[in-house]
Amino acid sequence: MAKSSVLGYPRIGADREWKKALEAFWAGKLEETAFQSQLQDIRLNHLRKQSEKGIDLIQVNDFSYYDHMLDTAAMFGIIPQRFAYTGGVVPLSVYYGVARGTKGATASEMTKWFNTNYHYIVPELNGASPVLTENKPLAAYREAKEKLGIEGKPVLVGPLTFLKLSKGYSAAEFDVWLDRLLPLYIQVLRELAEEGVQWVQIDEPIVVTKLSGDDITRLQKIYGTFAAEVPGLNIMLQTYFESAEHYGDIVALPVQGIGLDFVHGFAGNIKSIREQGFPQDKVLGAGVIDGRGIWKAHLGDKLTLLKELAGYVTPDRLIVQSSCSLLHVPVTVERETKLDAELRNALAFAEEKLDELVLLTKAISSDGVDVSAELAKANRTVETLQQSEARNRQDIQQTVAVISSKQPVRSRPFSERYEAQKAKWQLPLLPTTTIGSFPQTAEVRKARQLWRKGEWTGEQYGSFIREEIDRWIKLQEEIGLDVLVHGEFERTDMVEFFGEKLAGFAFTQNGWVQSYGSRCVKPPVIFGDVAFTGEMTVEETKYAQSRTNRPVKGMLTGPITIMNWSFVRDDISREQIAYQLAYALRQEVEALEQAGIGMIQVDEPAVREGLPLKEEEQAGYLAWSVKSFRIATCTVQDTTQIHTHMCYCEFHDMIDSIEAMDADVISIETSRSHGELIHSFELNTYKLGIGLGVYDIHSPRVPDVTEMTGMIDRALRVLDPKLFWINPDCGLKTRGQEETVASLRNMVEATKQARAQYNATEL
């Protein structure tokens, strides 16, 4: 008979009790013993839930005190030297120090986990002497068995993935590090085998990315060594997020099971199986339920797929599972009482996905259980939403089809627009501005809460927002900025704000997911055709412009960022969703321009985050991302200046696409990677307006004038001073007023010094 499994469960809890426990512990409000006890209760509750739902293979060691990559590093004693770790089990003070920093040591780098919105802590190998500090998978297995009687399936990050995602070593040292880690992995696996563990899941998502011949050799060495050293242990080599590269080599590895993603990697994986079959001596982990999306699956279609896969493996060698960990979805739909019933019935969060897996497993197993009625009911909920008016707006679909069939372009090229804008705006050399937001103080948050609760009228709240705008317009003028912003005090979130004002969006009450550490986000849900319903930003921007003679930028979030930071519908392509968003934003851009706003910033910080994992798909994604931006911005007058803002650590492979967006000015978050970006511009010419962030807004420290002058000087060695802007590297929403004002004053002073150096006679 087939079995069911999930590849990981959300850590945060239905009430975010995990987050609350962490933050109470960090704040000193919860002693370590009580903290450990609370987290154990949360962990066991998650295992109990899966057991009660009927999941056959329940994963253990997927729970974390912060992040699973940090857990792996800590298990092997790989702790940066600056944290003064002296060996043994890593104390929580050191563990959280690596994640969050301490007074004397900066935190380790944090970056995206493949192409998801989850962030992991990047292990630092330099200077480390790895040793097994504790067998975390074994401890998790014992706990589940002793406390709940569950025969768990321990999971750990595989050696190739761990090393590929770590830093602090040269390419030439890769195999040296692999040889250091392999004995430790063997020790972990041997102890699990001795304990009687039946299955161990080793996650190697790196195999869905481009692998070299050397990488294939390394995989063969890793898993050949495991087979030789721990021959009695069943290993499930798990892939996810895409289809496996080098399929033939992967399925030939000496492991007992291979897990494949048949949702996000469906096309490649099913093609490989159809063409090359599947080994008769291995178990197939079929990831058919989407671990990243929030929609109920059409179980009829999934059952058809499973029946096809059953032609390659016998039922006893088939595991019906999620495509990846359920870490990426909210916990339960049960509490979403305010959603429209038609939409709510079509949603499946983590708990609901357990039900889907169990039902599919019953349906594919030959145990005589009739689940046809349940399957039909599940399919109807999906079909009802699909047939709804919200998803079938012909007016939007037809207009977007026409607009997207053409290549959107501004009426004149940048060189001509530049002259027209220069004449209109009369800005000084190296104009100064900010990215958009100013500090969201406790007073701002309280005012918004009072308004949302109905304790303040709309007029009271609007009056408060206008007072904040007045205060910051005056401050910006006193500081000496050239181009101002209204501050975005009316906005909780740069995506949610726009979603609340567009058709096709819905918002959950408790749809939280972990972004990093205890930071949880509640993404909007794009469930229908997106449509403009009325002006979104004009009132506040127009008011701000009326309070000053200096230009005020209109501030919008771009279509790709809104899409990438939302849960999106799965019945049409992401490209089509992006075009719908772009068309809606175009109407807001035009409304701002008609209201007299002549500088409009359309931010796209998340373009790079959406890059497909497969290199061959990246060019197509970038092409329609650029097109979406241009759809939103191409209809304005030549004198209207379009700005954008992006967040990147790497830039060299994106310059062509960014330039193709044809924004008049782009600002890039660069303060932590300034040198690398300058090197990119040494190799590539950029001919449009640009601002490289001259100070890091993520730190509370106030950078001095000399520091920022140095940043400006480096940039102007490779960029045209006539096209260069001076700005912080990101929005200032999370900073305090005092440090914000002090930093901006220093930025303006640094600009004055730079202007004196790069005067008109030198240009």
Structure tokens at 304: 């058809």
Q: Where are the alpha helices (DSSP H) in 207-338?
A: 213-229, 247-251, 266-276, 299-309
DSSP state at residue 390? G
Single out the residue of 261, 75, 51, 258 nearest to residue 157, CA to CA: 75
What Cα–Cα distance (Å) separates residue 497 from each residue in 217, 492, 684, 762? Answer: 49, 6, 36, 45
d(CA 240, CA 250): 13
d(CA 116, CA 614): 14
Opening angle at CA 747, ends 741 and 751, nearest 5: 145
Structure tokens at 459: 């007029």
Residues at the binding site for L-methionine are 435-437, 488, 603
- The residue annotated as part of the active site, out of 46, 68, 119, 698, is 698
Q: What are the phi and psi torsion angles at 157 (to 5°)?
A: -70, 130
Residues at the binding site for Zn(2+) are 645, 647, 669, 730
Q: What is the SS3 string spanning 59-93?
A: EECCCCCCCHHHHHHHHCCCCCHHHCCCCCCCCHH
DSSP state at residue 570? S
d(CA 206, CA 758): 47
Whether the CB-CB separation of 153 and 192 falls below 8 Å is answered with no
119 is catalytic: no
What Cα–Cα distance (Å) separates residue 586 from each residue in 355, 425, 579, 581, 661? Answer: 42, 23, 10, 9, 14
DSSP state at residue 642? E
Q: Which residues of 602-624 are buried (b: 16+ CB within 10 A; e: fewer)?
A: bbbbbbbbbbbbbeeeeeebbeb
Whether the CB-CB separation of 200 and 192 falls below 8 Å is answered with yes
Active site residues: 698
